[in-house]
A and B are shown apart, each in its own frame.
Chain A
Amino acid sequence: MQFLNLEAKILEILKYLNIKNFRLAKEYNEMPVDIAFVEGTPTTREEVLKLLTIRKESKILVALGTCAVTGGVPGLVNMMAKKEAMEVYDGFPPDVPIDPKPLEYYVNVDYNIYGCTFSKDELIELITSLIIGKEYRDKEYSVCVECSLRENNCLLDDGHLCLGPITRGGCKALCPNNGKMCLGCRGPYEDANIKGHIKILQDMGFTKDEIIESLSLFSYEKFKEVISWLKEE
């Protein structure tokens, strides 16, 4: 829905893109399309099938937002017993529930737009790149980079469990700018030294459980190996 919040920009974007299928904002749907933006992640068999169709019917598939990119908060259920998860869903489990996975678990994803909510600036950057034929690259550095460029006081120094060092940059350090620790909503980047950061957090006095809880919030799927390593450590 963040798409509709692009406001002024959307008019400009519409000059170049012809929106054929927008389930929440437009009445009729046409396929195939050049670019499909998929928000969220499938949690039922039907949704998986729908995703496979979208992939077949589009030239470019963009995973939009954390749930699509990392499995996101729904990925948390992977940590719990199925029974518990159903309790969380208040007795109304999604029909034939399946584990929420990143979209790339099912289909090839051409581009990822990270964040919860995803960054409008990056979406515009991607669309611009597609229109002018420029390469769009994922940020390969952390939130700390953008945080330091803004001369913020580091929240780690004040004893907060900030995930900035292992979280992919691109949000312009939205949370730390507002004095809130980075919860890792954009997921880890490829080069992240996750074990190094765990060591830092342990030296600061955080327990294994606290660290695992924090890593699991947005990207359990991406961190699960390091989490099982940490549990045994």
Chain B
Amino acid sequence: MGVKIAKNRVNEFLKYLKEEYILYAPVEENGVSKISKIEDTSDIINLPYRTQISLKPIFFPPEQKFFRFEKKNGGVEIEDYLPQEGDDKSIIFGVRGCDVNAIEVLDKYMLDEFEDPYYRKRRENAIIIGISCDYPKESCFCTAFGGMVPERYDLWFTDIGPHFYVDIGSKRGEKLIDDKFFEEASEEDEMRKIRRINSVETKINRKVKTNLHDIKKYYHKIKNRADDSIWEELGRKCVSCGKCNFICPTCHCFDVKDMTNIDGSAGERIRVWDSCHLYDYAKTSAENFREERKARVRYRIYDKFVFPVMRYGVYACTGCGRCSEVCPAGIDIHAVVRRLIK
């Protein structure tokens, strides 16, 4: 059985959490909604759906410095920035299902086969308090993948009128349940929660009408369309701006650069996000193996619906719809997938 919290107590609860944790929550900065570190809980905004920017930059920022180096006494001295990352515990409040699922996918790339210590440090101590959406954005299609409540979370809030119903998903989450704020939920509360989630998901479904649950089947279907004329068509439209990659909560490609002083005797090594849509992404000393734009467009779709399935058994798309929202050429990933599985 879950618990519930009165809506007018949520702010106090967050203030209470802030005493011990670094708190992240949805805010608006320069007209862009994102999840940021909270100084004052009155900055938190109430959105009925996801923010424009995902969770990704919290764990994997667009530019990240790894270390500083300096040539000294015939050797090279290195100052690693990893210890500065801190072990502070953080709580991320107000996350949507598509983003929680996406961060789990990102974990596979960053912590599974190859471990990224910088990512691990930020990710390990982060507690997730998610929330069901009130209604979807135009581009949302999470129900194609199973719906808006993820399998794993620490706490999960759902609006049931004057209260939020709170599902407890982990030991870490359970520890946050303080009697000061929470009360036992009744069976009726639980029914309300279920009805609520169903009604929002039905609304999304009415628009989405795609079901990709059978991963094996759809991955094969998409894989078999490698020579389709759709790629030619999309390749003509795409302007290779990379926005779909940067905005995607599961895209994880980066470039590593050394920024040095003028004689190269000291500098910093940094990583910067990269995009598979860019011309020099696949350029090697021998050749550019995705020189044609249509090959790049196809690669992104395949790296969402084919390659990750082969590697990790999951799609690397959770239906957040951000890439479709930002694409200046109007390339809508949901529409593309629908055509591919027809």
Given contacts A149-B63, A151-B53, contact A128 B241 (CB under 8 A): no
Chain A CB count within 10 A is highest, among B240, B241, B278, for: B241
A113 within 8 A of B: no
> Quick check: A191 and B240 within 8 Å, CB to CB?
yes
B332 CB, nearest partner CB in chain A, Å: 14
For window 35-66 of B, CB contacts with A under 8 Å fall at: 53, 57, 62-63
Residues in chain B near residue A202, CB distance under 8 A: none
Specify which of B32, B279, B330 is in contact with A203 (CB 8 Å cutoff).
B330
Bound-state Cα–Cα, A124 to B267, Å: 14
Residues of B participating in the A interface, judged by any CB pair closer than 8 Å: 30-32, 34, 53, 57, 62-63, 236-243, 246-247, 260-264, 272-273, 275, 278-280, 293, 326, 328-330
Q: Which B residue sits closest to A165, measured CB to CB?
A: B239
> Quick check: A131 and B262 within 8 Å, CB to CB?
yes
> Quick check: B246 and A148 within 8 Å, CB to CB?
yes
A130 CB, nearest partner CB in chain B, Å: 10
A121 CB, nearest partner CB in chain B, Å: 10
Bound-state Cα–Cα, A134 to B330, Å: 39
Given contacts A132-B264, A149-B63, contact A141 B32 (CB under 8 A): no
Bound-state Cα–Cα, A192 to B239, Å: 7
Bound-state Cα–Cα, A192 to B293, Å: 10
Per DSSP, chain A at the interface is helix
Number of interface residues of A (CB under 8 A): 37
> Quick check: B279 and A154 within 8 Å, CB to CB?
no
A208 within 8 A of B: no
Residues in chain A near residue B63, CB distance under 8 A: 149
A200 CB, nearest partner CB in chain B, Å: 5
> Quick check: A151 and B238 within 8 Å, CB to CB?
no
> Quick check: A197 and B31 within 8 Å, CB to CB?
no
Q: Which B residue sits closest to A143, measured CB to CB?
A: B241
Q: How many A-B residue pairs have CB under 8 A?
A: 102
Specify which of B62, B242, B260, B329 is in contact with A132 (CB 8 Å cutoff).
B260
Q: Which A residue sits closest to B30, measured CB to CB?
A: A153
Bound-state Cα–Cα, A144 to B240, Å: 9
Given contacts A127-B262, A154-B243, contact A149 B279 (CB under 8 A): no
Specify which of B237, B238, B263, B273 is in contact with A16 (CB 8 Å cutoff).
B263
> Quick check: A196 and B237 within 8 Å, CB to CB?
yes
Residues in chain B near residue A152, CB distance under 8 A: 30, 32
Bound-state Cα–Cα, A145 to B246, Å: 8
Chain B CB count within 10 A is highest, among A13, A151, A152, A199, for: A151
A36 within 8 A of B: no
> Quick check: A148 and B262 within 8 Å, CB to CB?
no
B323 CB, nearest partner CB in chain A, Å: 12
> Quick check: A141 and B280 within 8 Å, CB to CB?
yes
Residues in chain A near residue B261, CB distance under 8 A: 12, 128
> Quick check: A140 and B279 within 8 Å, CB to CB?
yes
Bound-state Cα–Cα, A124 to B261, Å: 9
22 inter-chain pairs at a CB distance below 8 angstroms, sorted by A residue, are A16-B262, A16-B263, A128-B264, A131-B262, A131-B264, A140-B279, A141-B280, A142-B239, A148-B243, A154-B326, A165-B240, A165-B241, A165-B328, A189-B279, A191-B240, A191-B278, A191-B279, A191-B293, A192-B239, A196-B237, A196-B238, A200-B330
A203 CB, nearest partner CB in chain B, Å: 7
